């Protein structure tokens, strides 16, 4: 089972679930726009973020259970059985709520 983000990204790439973006994008709006468009799609690795050269940004990492199982290195069919600590979290409904003009909190 992967123990770090780099290993998880390598596994996702091997399974065709990692999209690398090398185009220079602004962190302020463009990253969010790309992630919104791909919200049910692959994990996205932004390799060239304006103002943060050399600091890649990852998004949509665990937006689907099949990607979670891939990242953890366990079969999707046995994800709940092998990860009993994760199962209760899946059943929780924790909607976000806006608490001020530029921040968001979870209940």
pTM of the model: 0.69
Q: What does the block give as tokens for 66?
A: 């099949």
Sequence-distant (6+) residues with CB within 8 A of 72 are 1, 2, 8, 79, 83
Q: Which pLDDT belongs to residue 53?
A: 87
Is a pLDDT exceeding 60 seen at residue 101? no
Give the span between the Cα atoms of 17 and 66, in whole angstroms.
10
Read off the pLDDT of residues 66-100 as tens digits, 9 standing for 90 and up: 888 888 777 877 776 766 666 666 666 566 565 55
Read off the pLDDT of residues 14-53 as tens digits, 9 standing for 90 and up: 989 999 999 999 999 999 999 999 988 999 999 999 998 8
Q: What is the domain partition of the chain in residue ranges?
A: 5-106
């Amino acid at each position: 089972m992967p123990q770090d983000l780099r290993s998880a990204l390598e596994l996702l790439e091997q399974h065709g679930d990692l999209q690398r973006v090398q185009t220079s994008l602004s962190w302020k709006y463009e990253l969010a726009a790309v992630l919104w468009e791909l919200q049910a799609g692959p994990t996205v690795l932004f390799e060239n973020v304006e103002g943060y050269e050399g600091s890649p940004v990852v998004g949509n990492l665990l937006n689907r259970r099949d990607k979670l199982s891939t990242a953890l290195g366990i079969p999707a069919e046995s994800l709940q059985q092998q990860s009993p600590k994760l199962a209760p979290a899946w059943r929780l409904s924790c909607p976000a709520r806006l608490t001020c003009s530029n921040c968001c909190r979870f209940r």
